[in-house]
Amino acid sequence: MKSIKKWSFTQVMVFGFLALILVGACILMLPICNANGKWLNFPDALFTSCTCVCVTGLVTVVPAFQFTFLGKLVMLFLIQVGGWGVIVCVTYVLVLMKVKLTIQERVMLQNYFNRDSMRGLVGILQYVVKGSLVVEGIGALGYACRFIPQFGLLRGIWYAVFHSISAFCNAGVDLLGDSSFAMYADDVLINTVTAFLIIAGGIGFMVWRELVAFIKKAAKKETGIRQGLRKLSLHTKLVLLMTISLLLGGTLFFFIVEYNNPNTLGSMGFFQKLMASFFQSVTTRTAGFFTVPQDQLREVSRLFSCFLMYIGGSPVGTAGGVKTVTVAVVLLSCGSILAGHEDTECFRRCIPMNIVRTALSVCIGGLLLVLVGTLALMVAEPEATIMQATYEVVSATATVGLTAGLTPKLHIAGKFIIIALMYMGRIGPITIPLMIAGSIKRRNEKRRLPEEHIMVG
C-alpha cells in the first residue's frame, strides 16, 4: 500500500477534500455547535460541511438560526480552506513552519497552479494567501460600513468578516436568515462589495496576479496600456474576455426578461432593476447569494441561469463550474473546424491539442454529471418538476448555491445526491476517473493501434 507521501496530486485532492468534509461534519454535529444544544443529525451536518468545503451555499438548515458562534466559526474555517484548496493550505502551513517542501509537494503545487516549471512556486503560494487576505480585508471594511450601524459593533464586525470570506470564496453561505441579501436589493454598497469579491475570487489567482503586475507597470509608466494588454498571457486574455462578455450579456438578459416580472424586478426603479440584474449575472457565476427570489424567476431566466452556472468562474480560483476558459477553448475549437483550420487559434496563438481534448472532456463530463444527477434527483424527489431538479443539480454541480426552493425540502436520498454532486463539482467531474485510470498499470502505454475511419454527424 502506498504511503500518503507517495500520493498523486489527484489522490490528495480527492481524499483531502473528503477527509475535511467528514471531520467538519463530525464537529458540526456536536451540541456545543448547535443553538438548541442538541446533536445535529448526520445528513444535515454532512450537507452543511460539504457545502462549506465545496464553497457551494446550498443548505438544508438555516445557519443563522441553527448554529452557535462556534458552529459558525467552524463553517467559516471550512469555507476558507475549501476556497483555497487543501493543497494550498497544507503547503502554506509547512512554509510558515519553515519546513522545506519536498519534490512531491512542489509537484502538487505546480499542478495546482498549472505552471510549466517549479520555479517561484513558494512565492506564488504566499502571494495567493496574502493577496486573498488583503482582498477579504477590503471587503470586510466595506461590509462593516453597513453592518456595524445595523447590527452593532461586535456583530457587525463578525458579519462583515464572515460574508467577505464567503463572497470571495464564492461560497454564498450567509448569516442573514433564509432570504440571503434580498433585504439589500437596493443597497449600492452591499451590491458593489459583494460583486467585487465574487469576481475577484472567481477570475482566478493567477489572473489577478498578472493584472496587478500590469497595473503597477502602467502606473509607473513603464509600459503603455495597449502594449501592456498585448503582453498579457493568452489565459488571462481569455478569462477577461469571457468574464466581461458573460457579465454584460447576463445583465442585459435578466434586465430585459425580468423587467416586468412583479415577483422580481417589476416593482423596482430603473437603476435598481439594472443593479439587481447585474447582481444576478454575477452570482450565477458560482456565488450563491441572491437579491431576488430564485423560485420567482421566469422559466427562461432560470434556464439561462443554468447556462451561466454551468460555465462558472475561471481556473485556479475559488469558483466552480466547467470554467470560462474551458468553454472558450471548446468554442474556439468548433470555430476552427468550421473555418477549415487544423489548429485551434486565438490572439495569434495556437492552443495545444491536449488542452483542447481536456476541455472537451471537462465539458462533456460536466454535462453527463448534470444529466445523471437530474435523473437521480427526480427519482428521489418525485414531486419536483424537471426545472426545479435541473436548477438544483446544476447549482450543486457548479458549486453555486442558488436554489429554487427544493433543497430545504429534500428527503434523505435527495440530500446525499446533492452532497455527491457538490463534492464531484468541487474536485472536478473528470478527476475521479483520471485517478482510477492513473492507478491502472498499462503494459504498453506507447503502443499505437491501426486507424479505422467511422461516420459521425
Q: State yes or no: pLDDT of 441 exceeds 60.
A: no
Predicted local distance difference test score (pLDDT) of residue 277:
97
- Burial status of residue 405 (CB atoms within 10 A of its CB: 0-12, 13-18, 19 or more): middle
Q: What is the mean predicted confidence (pLDDT) over 306-312?
A: 95
Predicted local distance difference test score (pLDDT) of residue 115:
78
Residue with more model confidence, 139 or 287: 139
Q: State yes or no: pLDDT of 457 exceeds 80.
A: no
Predicted local distance difference test score (pLDDT) of residue 439:
54
Q: State yes or no: pLDDT of 379 exceeds 60.
A: yes
Q: Which amino acid is present at 362?
A: V
Predicted local distance difference test score (pLDDT) of residue 1:
41
Q: State yes or no: pLDDT of 309 exceeds 50.
A: yes
Predicted local distance difference test score (pLDDT) of residue 341:
87
Cα 432 to Cα 437: distance, rounded to the nearest angstrom: 9
Q: State yes or no: pLDDT of 334 exceeds 80.
A: yes
Q: State yes or no: pLDDT of 136 exceeds 80.
A: yes
Q: How far is CA 425 from CA 174, 314, 320, 418, in A?
A: 21, 14, 7, 10
Predicted local distance difference test score (pLDDT) of residue 156:
97
Average pLDDT, the chain: 90
> What residues does 346 pair with on adjacent strands?
349
Residues 14-71: tens digit of each pLDDT: 888 999 999 999 999 999 999 999 999 999 999 999 999 999 999 999 999 999 999 9
**Taking a C-beta distance cutoff of 8 angstroms, is the pair 294, 405 a contact?**
yes
Residues 153-204: tens digit of each pLDDT: 999 999 999 999 999 999 999 999 888 999 999 999 999 999 999 999 999 8
Residue with more model confidence, 244 or 116: 244
Structure-block grid coordinates of residue 33: 455547535
Q: What is the mean predicted confidence (pLDDT) over 198-217?
A: 89
Q: State yes or no: pLDDT of 445 exceeds 60.
A: no
* pTM, 2 dp: 0.92
